[in-house]
Structure formats: C-alpha cells, structure tokens
Amino acid sequence: MGQAGQIDQDVFIVDDDGAVRDALRLVFEMEGFRVEAFPDGASFLAAARSRTPDVVVLDVHMPGRSGLEVLQELGPHYGAPVFMISGQGDIPMAVEAIRQGAHDFIEKPFDADTVVQRVRDAIEARGRKGARNSGDMILAAFSGEEQLTPREREVLERIALGASNKEAGRQLGISPRTIEVHRARIMEKLGARNTADLVRIVYSDVRRN
C-alpha cells in the first residue's frame, strides 16, 4: 500500500515511550518509509544537525527537553514539517507549538494508519507548494500580509477562496482543527470579527489595489 511511492522518504520519530516508537516505526516501514527513532530531544537534535528528513513526528512531553523546546531549537525555518504528538490535555501546548512553526498536531490516542496518512498528505502538499509560484495569489497585494506567517497566508488564501476547514486542511496537508487555530490567529491579527468580515477585509483591499 504505497511502498513504491514512499521508498525514498525519511521520517524521524522522537518519543520517550518505546512502545510508541516501535509501533510508529513498524507502520511507517511497512509503508516503505525509511525511519529513524529517537528516545529524547538531544539525540534527535544531534542527528537533525547533519541531515534533514522529509517529516518529523515529535512528542510534546519528554524528559529533558520537551517537544516544544526541541521545536524552538529547530527554529521556524526548519526544512521539514514537524508533527507534534499531544494528549487531550495538551491542546493549549499544541496550539503554542503551531504558533512556533509546527506543521500540525496529532492527538492521543491515535491510530497509526491515520498518522501515516497525515504524513503523506503533508509531503504531497509540500510538493504542490514547491511546484507553483508562491507570489501569484491574492495575498501578494494584501496590505496586512506582513503581520502573517507564511502558513497563515496560505490558510487565509484558502479561506478567501471559500474553502471549508476540511477542504483547506486537505489542500495544505493539515487537520481541520489546526486550520481553526490558524483562522483564529489570522482574525486576531487583522481585527476581523468573523470569517465573513475577514473575507471582506481581504477583497476590499484587493479592489483598492
């Protein structure tokens, strides 16, 4: 199931729980990914300095450096999407991780096959983004764009074109819940009261330009 298309893609798994590491390693390897697993943030960061995988799956709670601290050390321009694994009670921390540049978060308990599909979606979305011109969308002329992160601009672009959270998530390779997080941040930054107001702000500015 998808082995031939995934054989050259690397996944780094970072989790102090050996059972979680082994389960994720098994399912990713069965799907043809190359996998390296790390029990803590320090060993992962040492490997990440020498090479960049296609995707990182990073647990929030670990001894030593937490997942959020590891993410901060990677920096916002790290070359691979980072998925944060989070328990139900860790959602505020997961939201903070997205603000720090995480690609998406996966809530525990999770189904391993779902994790693989989310990773595939992220890789495909990354490929689509690389294939197109990044400056040809409506936000290129949008006066508030300097307040937004690159990912927030992508989300706003899709909201303005009428995509639902589910559609936007599918196009960007992230979950609808993560789209909601970005939408709330965009509305806060641009002073929009609701989605309709947000779209009016964008399109009225485009018309003026």
CATH number of the domain at 169, please: 1.10.10.10
Q: What is the mean pLDDT of the chain?
A: 81
Q: What pLDDT does 126 receive? A: 75
Q: Which of 114, 130, 146 is the last residue of a domain?
A: 130
Same domain, 120 and 170: no
Domain range holding 67?
3-130
Asked which of 130, 157, 184 is the last residue of a domain, the reply is 130
Condensed to tens digits (0 to 9), the pLDDT of residues 66-114 reads: 999 999 999 877 889 999 988 766 667 777 888 788 888 888 888 888 8
Kindly state whether residues 81 and 141 are assigned to the same domain: no
Does 207 have pLDDT greater than 60? Answer: no
Mean pLDDT of 148-157: 84
| Euclidean distance between CA atoms 26 and 148, whole angstroms | 38
Query: Does residue 197 share a domain with residue 161?
Result: yes
Return the residue matching tokens 């936007």.
Answer: 168
Give pLDDT, residue 118: 87
Percent of residues, the chain, with pLDDT higher than 70 = 82
Task: Say if residue 96 is in the same domain as residue 165.
Answer: no
The whole-number pLDDT of residue 11 equals 95
State how many domains the chain has.
Answer: 2
pLDDT of residue 100: 82
Edge-first strand order for the sheet with 82-86 is 34-38, 10-14, 55-59, 82-86, 104-107
**12/87 same-domain check:** yes
